[in-house]
Structure 1
Amino acid sequence: MKQWIISLLLLLASNQLWATAPDFTLKALDGSNLRLAEQKGDIMLINFWASWCGPCIQEMPALDKLAQKYQPLGVQVWGVNVESDSSAAKNYLSKVQVAFPILFDLDNSVSKAYQVDAMPTTVILDKDGKVRAVHRGYQPGYEKKYENDIKQLLRE
């Protein structure tokens, strides 16, 4: 009975992970509008962050390295800032530049759709736009988890 319950819980959890990611369009730091649905065919790493979040700031250079390493293989990294006032994030980004797009979720509608309840939260989508991994929080070394997820999706 215990094994059956565990199997059922694993099945339910995997069904949630394989759900199609909610579509969104957000304005990027460069002024362009980016829409998730237009990125099908690419693996997406979406990182929800805030400038007041120490681990988010600590993680930014690691995300930038991942973006630069895997972009030629069809992997995109997007940073989604969740602050209603983007001035602190823009100030941070003027000092620490990253090569990947930074988008602004000023009304938190996207972070709510993705059930972001920890900072940072990193969501990895497969080429079909399905959620394949969700990582909450950050500690040095988590980027290896992201890289393992990316490598697995590249092999599929």
Structure 2
Amino acid sequence: MSQTKQKRLIFRAAILAVLVLAVGYTLYANATKESRGALAAGDKAPDFILKDLNGKTYRLSDYKGKGVLLNFWGTWCEPCKKEMPYMNELYSSYKPKGVEILAVHVKNTRFLVDEFVKQYGLTFPVLIDKNGDVQHAYHIDPLPTTFLIGPDGKVKKVIIGNQNLSKKDIQDMMDMIKP
């Protein structure tokens, strides 16, 4: 075999090895992503600082002693469109009982979020995670994902994805974290 053919064979084998490793890693990462770093009941909720549409700053640790329904959502999310009116309706009666709602919007333009908030008449804080830092810290995938955080700052329950939550479901969730 000529030296040129041998070099070509080695080069092709190296490329094939890199591709096999990349595919193997991707399959491994996807198969184990549920067990790596996902927050679960009993974990301390990571603190964060985000701003709302008016520029007001919110910090999760400021809500110590209160229950927090932390909802990650998007304007394009169909289940979010169904859940938000229920959350908004219950917010006024649960806020005096020590339960807060923080809705963290991920990956969309401010205009669309503003329009969504106006359309649904949302009265609870809608926070913008424009860099995705909080979404990453909470390992959010898919939307909606809701964390029920107790007055002690620990996650009580995580609701992931389209659960078709009813008003009663959300009421039960708020009762679960009420101080």
Instruction: With the length of structure 2 as denominator, give the TM-score of the two structures.
Output: 0.72
**1:6-59 deviation per Cα after TM superposition (whole angstroms, max 9, x unaligned):** xxxxxxxxx931111000000112220000011101100011010111111121
Q: Return the match for 2:87 from 63, 67, 73.
A: 63
Q: Return the match for 1:73 from 64, 88, 97.
A: 97
User: What amino acid does structure 2 have at the position aligned with 1:33?
Assistant: T
Instruction: List alignment gaps of at least 5 residues for structure 1.
Output: 1-14
**1:123-154 deviation per Cα after TM superposition (whole angstroms, max 9, x unaligned):** 11000110111111234444433322332333
Given that 1:84 and 1:107 are in contact with CA atoms closer than 8 Å, whether structure 2 keeps it comes out as no
**Identity in percent:** 35
In structure 2, the residue matched to 1:35 is 59
Q: CA deviation at 1:95?
A: 2.3
Range that drifts further, 37-46 or 135-144: 135-144
Given that 2:75 and 2:108 are in contact with CA atoms closer than 8 Å, whether structure 1 keeps it comes out as no
User: What amino acid does structure 2 have at the position aligned with 1:101?
Assistant: P
1:69 to 1:150, Cα distance in 2 relative to 1, 3 A: same
The structure 1 segments of at least 4 consecutive aligned residues displaced by more than 6 Å after TM superposition are none
Instruction: List alignment gaps of at least 5 residues for structure 2.
Output: 1-38
Instruction: With the length of structure 1 as denominator, give the TM-score of the two structures.
Output: 0.82
Root-mean-square deviation (Å): 1.8
1:95 to 1:149, Cα distance in 2 relative to 1, 3 A: closer
Range that drifts further, 79-88 or 66-75: 79-88
Given that 2:40 and 2:158 are in contact with CA atoms closer than 8 Å, whether structure 1 keeps it comes out as no
- Secondary structure of 1:16's counterpart equals coil
Q: Return the match for 1:94 from 96, 101, 118.
A: 118
Question: Counterparts of 1:60 and 1:108 in 2: how far apart (Å)?
Answer: 21
1:59 to 1:150, Cα distance in 2 relative to 1, 3 A: closer
Given that 1:78 and 1:101 are in contact with CA atoms closer than 8 Å, whether structure 2 keeps it comes out as yes
- Secondary structure of 1:62's counterpart equals helix
